[in-house]
Structure 1
Amino acid sequence: MLKNIFELKNDKLSENPLWIAIQSMRNNKLLAFLSLLLLIFQIFAYNLVPIFNKYFFDALEVLNFTNIYKLLFLYILILIFSQVFKYAYFITSSRLYAYMQTQIRKDVLSYLNLHSLNYFVSRPSGKVTNEYHNLYDCNKILFTTLENVIPSVVVLVVSVVLAFLVSNNIGVGILVWSILIILISTKFIKLLSKRTQELELVSNYFMGVLGDFISNVKILRIFNVTKVTFNRLTKIASNYCFVALKKWRLKSIFGIFLDFCDVILILVFTVVLGKMYFANLITLGDLTMLFTLAYRIDDSLKELINSVEQIVADYQVSAIAAQNILVEIDNLDKENAKHMPVLDSLGISIKNLSFRYPKSKSKSNDLSSINLEIKSGEKIGIVGRSGSGKSTLFKLLQRQFEFQDAKIFFNDLDVNDYTKQSVRNNIAVVDQDNQMFNRSLKENILLGRKVSDKKLNKVLKDSHCNEFIENLPDGLDTLVGERGVKLSGGQRQRVAIARSMISKAPLVLLDEATSALDSKSEKVISDAFKKLSKDHTMICIAHRLSTLHFVDRIVVMDKGRILNVGTHDYLLEKCKVYQSLSKDQLH
């Protein structure tokens, strides 16, 4: 039964940060139980020390050397075993902590990967990054509880019990004092928790704005508005400092209160125990043990209160992150979804496809009654004015959104019956705004895939990448900068084509891939498209009709519907919208 607490419920992460930490130990149960056992032994040995102090000083008071030597021997043994348990726990718990942190990172990244594209485009990347960082630290909550809170509580309980064994009055005094300090501290902790929550919300907002600032610094400098965004960041940072100052001011007052309580406790113990000893109400052993207990109670109370305050603060931070990251997945695969293999060739059949974006305020569909047949190896162009549904159709082909009462077939396979990842393995995309990582050019082309040098060199030649790579300072190892800012638009498009050529995907989607290029770059890219189109089914969204000279058929869309399908000459004769598009580009 104990083993089951480590397991994920329905293969889903808990939204409770403490349970996330516990579940992260599911692959290291033996190490977790061993660490817990060593911690228990360590706590047990630590709490035996005051008892041996009492008996040792009682024997010393009457000069009973036989008992003194025995107790000294036992005391040394306890210290040795205590240190052995301490170091053994340190070794096992350090390994466990590292494994847990790695597992949490994997779990959270896996969950993030399940989110739809809409989740990421609606959230600042800096905010998501900051929340991810806060969430994988939730194992601190568990370790602080095990290493600080539980030992402190055990020490307090043992100390009160031992005090009662010596004197009921002292026991009652210690109990009342501890409860009073804990109750007052609870008020402080609640206020600190509120301040922590405010601080974390401001921090997440700041990181989101900062991420946007860094990612888009080129645009800000082009339009000379860097100062505006910088002033906005400064204002948020000032607000952060103001909220942080309120928290640390409260924490300072709390610290002064605890230090004052320390002085009072030791002062009272010194006076009361001194009088009791000289009145022969307690022995030297009792006096020594009670003084030891006084310092332990003092340390344990501070450790307990500070640890609980830290746990509450960490919990608030992790809970906010969990609420934002571990939200319900809006585009999950079906429970019985199958894995689609990478197909050798791919034909497409779209039947009665209608779609409206989730939460759309429009009363009409974004796509209505789309029916289209594309043969394997066929090259299809899609044209239409802005908002006609071209990009929406591409998103549905890539399973970025769910659609009901319609069918999209890859060959004879209904894509709704297969996992999204396996469907996307059959698709390569060349976008109008190709995303680049701030890594080397080679890494951006391969994207972690392994290919032979022979194939890579052929791809670089066919995509015309080799024409600009030879001029780069470090060749393929040149860093391309944030979002590929060190490359021109045409160069980034060639990298995107190279990615698609390396991919084994039989379907290539081109989305306005030459819209921002000059005529010379467009010619080079068009030649690369011809080479890419060999042995591939290709669908190309285009603004410039001239870029569709290599396609077999052209689909004309308007207001979410397919108006006509045919060759360039046929559409010029039969389709008024196509005639209008062609006429607009002549002027």
Structure 2
Amino acid sequence: MKNSSSIKFFCKNVLRSVGAQTALMASAAILSELAEAAGPWLFGLILESFSSSGSVSGRLFLGLLGAWVVASLFPILYQALDTRVSPRVFKRVQEDLLDRLSRHSEAFFEKRSAGELGQYVRQAATAATTLHNILFFDVIRILVLLTITELLLFPKQPILAGMFLLWVLIYLALSFKISKSCLSKIYSQSALGARTMGRILDLLMNLDLVHVSQTGQAERASLRETLDQERTAQSDLRGYLTKMNLFQAASKLAISIGVSIFAFRQLQAGSLGLGDFVMFVQLSVLTALQVQNISNRLVEGSNQLGILAHALGTIPEVPSRQMAPPQKAHAGNAVVVSDVHFSYPNGRKVLCGLNLHIFKGQKVAIVGSSGSGKSTLFRLLADSYQAKSGRIEIFGRDIASLTHEELFKNVTIVPQTTRIFNRTMAENLIYGTRATEGEGRQMLSALGGDAILRKLPAGLQTPLGEQGSLLSGGERQRVALCRALLRRSPIILLDESLSALDAPSCEQVSNFLREHDPDCTCVMITHRLESLGDMDQIYYMSDGRIAESGTFAQLMARDGLFRQALNAGNNV
């Protein structure tokens, strides 16, 4: 199943994208091998002519020279075409797999490191490029050469032709069988290589923590162990391939010697002319060499097919969703959560029959103690996870029926951990929006970010460094919030997105959010209960349910969980 899916992927993504160029490459490979096979045939005719008449036709000699020229030039033509085709294949496969990754939810990435997934993308692209060359150069060449050899051998030496063909088939079958038994080793090496790359990138991204924690020696020891595992897998695989190469070399030597001895005896017996003898020996040696080459390439192709299949299995396609018709909803509902239950894969139940109605244009806060389910609710609203039961609607449409493109046209999420590219401030401000640099500057200024631009050496054109290293935590949050507001989505979800701001800055941003767009629905997770006075509605979660709700004044008028948490000064 794995290989069939990779073959489908190869045909869909590679052959369709470079079909015309591939046909030209295949033609070059065919003509190259026709010319190479014509050389021994023409040389045999020259010897036959000379041994029988003592002279050689000039046309035969020119034909031989022409065959040698064509056999030399067409592989160069193939390579020239390949300089354009292989990069396109490499690019197409990477684009497809990156597109797949972009459609996966956050939950998918929690189980795999970015470095590991990136390595799988590169491995798959390399595998597809190698497979393309094997199929349209090596396989074509051996098929052409084998066909010509059999056509020339069979009329004069049918037994020899049959024996030679049988050897080729047995040889390729054994090589293919050996290559199949090698796949498990290939999968193991591929997985270890991707894991090692992920581990290295993870270590590089957290070097500051390693230095502060003084764990460099332990990290080096752990990385050394991982590298040793990869080295062992590589050595195991190379040893296996070395044994196979010995088998191939011995088989090729045996058939070459066997054919030569058989032809020599026929020559001595007078049933074979000198020209035919030379032709048969040259063709058999040439074909045996190409058979050994193609068997190596088939093994490599099988291995690359396995690597491609492994990568596709690790990065599966996201199933398309069935479009559900909008449900009749109460007028003005932006978000409706109806009897939603959710448990994590480890069995921990988080949401228990949650119900929530948020109207268009409302500014809403969701608070609660740690583990109450508020962050899980946000992940469900962002479609990072899917509810076990119940229903979530965005403007009357079931979220389970929306593609990510449709969902994020309506919803913008600002997580607590901000994402900043190592690009200029301007690029980061307007990323994913249709805003201009001027609008980005204006929005940042409205959020109190003028001081940020003043401290940057080149203002908006200053690269911000890896993960925005030039900015403080609060400054990164302002940039992320600015970017979110410039998208002008009907719904904005803020997950502790103001946590790094001081109290005055947080109040300034909160006031701006209220005044910026009255029609924009804003849903905020925060632990700053004292700053929620202007919220249209506050929902206090406990044990996976809404324990109480109301405005700030209404909740303070009760002696409920919200008031108790605020009076106790709890961070919730």
In the alignment, is the contact (CA less than 8 A) between 2:335 and 2:358 conserved in 1? Answer: yes
The equivalent of 2:316 in structure 1 is 326
Q: In the TM superposition, what whole-angstrom CA distance separates every residue of 1:335-359 from its partner, at most 9, and x where no partner exists?
A: 4689xxxxxx985242534121464
Residues 248-267 of structure 1 mapped to structure 2, 5 A cutoff: 248-267=238-257
Is the partner of 1:354 in helix, strand or coil?
Answer: strand
Matched, 1:510 2:494: yes
Cα distance in 1 between the residues matched to 2:180 and 2:404: 45
Q: 1:246 to 1:28 in 2, by over 3 A?
A: closer
TM superposition outliers: structure 1 runs of 4+ over 6 Å: none
The Cα shift of 1:523 comes to: 2.1
In the alignment, is the contact (CA less than 8 A) between 1:380 and 1:539 conserved in 2? Answer: yes
The Cα shift of 1:191 comes to: 4.8
Residues 48-447 of structure 1 mapped to structure 2, 5 A cutoff: 48-63=38-53, 65=55, 68-79=57-68, 86-137=75-126, 138-168=128-158, 170-171=160-161, 174-175=164-165, 177-179=167-169, 181-182=171-172, 185-186=175-176, 188-268=178-258, 272-326=262-316, 329=319, 332-335=320-323, 348-350=334-336, 352-357=338-343, 359=345, 361-362=347-348, 366-376=351-361, 378-403=362-387, 405-410=390-395, 415=399, 418-447=402-431
Q: In the TM superposition, what whole-angstrom CA distance separates every residue of 1:6-59 from its partner, at most 9, and x where no partner exists?
A: xxxxxxx99632332221232444444444444444444443333322222211
| Structure 1 unaligned regions, length at least 5 | 1-12, 339-344
Indicate which of 507, 532, 539 corresponds to 1:526. 507
The Cα shift of 1:147 comes to: 1.1
Cα distance in 1 between the residues matched to 2:29 and 2:325: 45
The Cα shift of 1:573 comes to: 2.1
Q: 1:50 to 1:396 in 2, by over 3 A?
A: same
Is the partner of 1:352 in helix, strand or coil?
Answer: strand
Q: In the TM superposition, what whole-angstrom CA distance separates every residue of 1:118-155 from its partner, at most 9, and x where no partner exists?
A: 11112122221111112223242232123112322442
Cα distance in 1 between the residues matched to 2:8 and 2:536: 57
Is the partner of 1:425 in helix, strand or coil?
Answer: helix
Cα distance in 2 between the residues matched to 1:132 and 1:346: 44
Identical-residue share of aligned pairs (%): 21
The amino acid of 1:68's aligned partner reads S
Is the partner of 1:480 in helix, strand or coil?
Answer: coil
The equivalent of 2:444 in structure 1 is 460
The Cα shift of 1:575 comes to: 4.5
Q: 1:373 to 1:257 in 2, by over 3 A?
A: closer
The Cα shift of 1:405 comes to: 4.4
Q: 1:243 to 1:418 in 2, by over 3 A?
A: closer
Cα distance in 2 between the residues matched to 1:417 and 1:319: 29
The amino acid of 2:540's aligned partner reads V
Matched, 1:22 2:11: yes
Cα distance in 1 between the residues matched to 2:291 and 2:17: 35
Of 489-498 and 30-39, the range deviating more from structure 2: 30-39
Q: 1:542 to 1:224 in 2, by over 3 A?
A: same
Is the partner of 2:443 in helix, strand or coil?
Answer: helix
The amino acid of 1:440's aligned partner reads T
Cα distance in 1 between the residues matched to 2:498 and 2:192: 41
In the alignment, is the contact (CA less than 8 A) between 2:434 and 2:487 conserved in 1? Answer: no
In the alignment, is the contact (CA less than 8 A) between 1:514 and 1:522 conserved in 2? Answer: no
Cα distance in 1 between the residues matched to 2:64 and 2:497: 79
Is the partner of 1:366 in helix, strand or coil?
Answer: strand
- Normalised TM-score (structure 2): 0.87
Q: 1:485 to 1:275 in 2, by over 3 A?
A: same
The equivalent of 1:562 in structure 2 is 546
Cα distance in 2 between the residues matched to 1:236 and 1:373: 50
The amino acid of 1:309's aligned partner reads V
In the alignment, is the contact (CA less than 8 A) between 1:497 and 1:528 conserved in 2? Answer: no
Is the partner of 2:569 in helix, strand or coil?
Answer: helix
In the alignment, is the contact (CA less than 8 A) between 2:124 and 2:308 conserved in 1? Answer: yes
In the alignment, is the contact (CA less than 8 A) between 1:17 and 1:319 conserved in 2? Answer: yes
Cα distance in 2 between the residues matched to 1:294 and 1:433: 67
Cα distance in 1 between the residues matched to 2:87 and 2:325: 34
Q: 1:40 to 1:266 in 2, by over 3 A?
A: closer
The Cα shift of 1:315 comes to: 1.5
- Normalised TM-score (structure 1): 0.85
In the alignment, is the contact (CA less than 8 A) between 1:156 and 1:300 conserved in 2? Answer: no
In the alignment, is the contact (CA less than 8 A) between 2:25 and 2:78 conserved in 1? Answer: yes
The Cα shift of 1:470 comes to: 2.4
Q: In the TM superposition, what whole-angstrom CA distance separates every residue of 1:55-104 from its partner, at most 9, and x where no partner exists?
A: 22211222365x71232344445455556654554444543433333332
Q: 1:300 to 1:462 in 2, by over 3 A?
A: same
In the alignment, is the contact (CA less than 8 A) between 2:426 and 2:437 conserved in 1? Answer: no
Q: 1:181 to 1:557 in 2, by over 3 A?
A: closer
In the alignment, is the contact (CA less than 8 A) between 2:414 and 2:481 conserved in 1? Answer: yes
